Chains A and B, each alone.
Chain A
């Protein structure tokens, strides 16, 4: 009698993306445009989250940097992907990435099933690091 042990499902790393953004530069950009114009770049939910955050500029920079990092992890940058199709939810411990539209389609084409993301800051900079994961049987 043979006993076949179930193999644990292993996450396959599909891509890695890292981005660094200067907080003051993002703050300057955000301060010069109204919320409606900023929706070209951020989702309404991101804008709401950043505006109510203890450090709005830092949070805006994290959202911006996350979009760039996701583009890098997908291997195409943000060509053919709108900025507001990549949404970040920020917490003290990490970052949740949600895609829609062309960004979601691109991720599915690449076999991406999930995202792992972290962020940190120092001086005037934030850094976002994302891993895109597929799944291996």
Chain B
């Protein structure tokens, strides 16, 4: 969550809005370029591809879980 928080702060999201329950689109009002920016930031930090475009709005907790799963899958594969 800390890494995700850093990326969001760099995007100009106020720190008090960054909670596990916050929704990417509804609460944080992220557009597609910002969503992609998060994916690129996560790839740079953790070396994993996390796709944030989905039909359903995702919470930051959902994103953290996706990152953890992707890291675990990468570790298992190597």
Interface residues of A (CB under 8 A from B): 21-22, 25-26, 29, 32-33, 37-38, 40-41, 64, 68, 77-79, 81-83
Some 16 contacts from A to B, beta carbons below 8 A apart, are: A21-B33, A22-B33, A26-B33, A29-B33, A29-B37, A29-B40, A37-B44, A40-B39, A41-B36, A41-B39, A41-B40, A64-B33, A64-B36, A78-B53, A79-B53, A79-B55
Q: Tell me if B36 and A83 are in contact (CB < 8 A).
A: yes
Q: Tell me if B37 and A40 are in contact (CB < 8 A).
A: no
Q: In the assembled complex, how far is the CB of residue A32 from the closest CB belonging to chain B, in whole angstroms?
A: 8
Q: Tell me if B33 and A37 are in contact (CB < 8 A).
A: no
* Cα–Cα distance between A32 and B55 once the two chains are bound (Å): 28
Which residue on B lies nearest to A40, using beta carbons?
Answer: B43
Inter-chain contacts of B29 with A (CB < 8 A): none
Q: Tell me if A33 and B51 are in contact (CB < 8 A).
A: no
Which residue on A lies nearest to B56, using beta carbons?
Answer: A79
| SS class, residues of chain B in contact with chain A | helix
B37-78 CB contacts (< 8 Å) to partner A: 37, 39-40, 43-44, 49, 51, 53-55
Q: Which 7 A-B pairs have the closest CB atoms?
A: A78-B53, A25-B33, A37-B44, A33-B40, A37-B43, A40-B43, A29-B37
Q: Which of B32, B51, B55 contacts A82 (CB 8 A)?
A: B51
Inter-chain contacts of A83 with B (CB < 8 A): 36
* Cα–Cα distance between A103 and B37 once the two chains are bound (Å): 21
* Cα–Cα distance between A25 and B37 once the two chains are bound (Å): 10
Q: Which of B36, B54, B55 contacts A29 (CB 8 A)?
A: B36
Inter-chain contacts of B39 with A (CB < 8 A): 40-41
Inter-chain contacts of B54 with A (CB < 8 A): 79
Q: Tell me if A68 and B43 are in contact (CB < 8 A).
A: no
Q: Which of B36, B37, B39, B54 has the most CB of A within 10 A?
A: B36
Q: In the assembled complex, how far is the CB of residue B50 from the closest CB belonging to chain A, in whole angstroms?
A: 9
Q: In the assembled complex, how far is the CB of residue A74 from the closest CB belonging to chain B, in whole angstroms?
A: 12
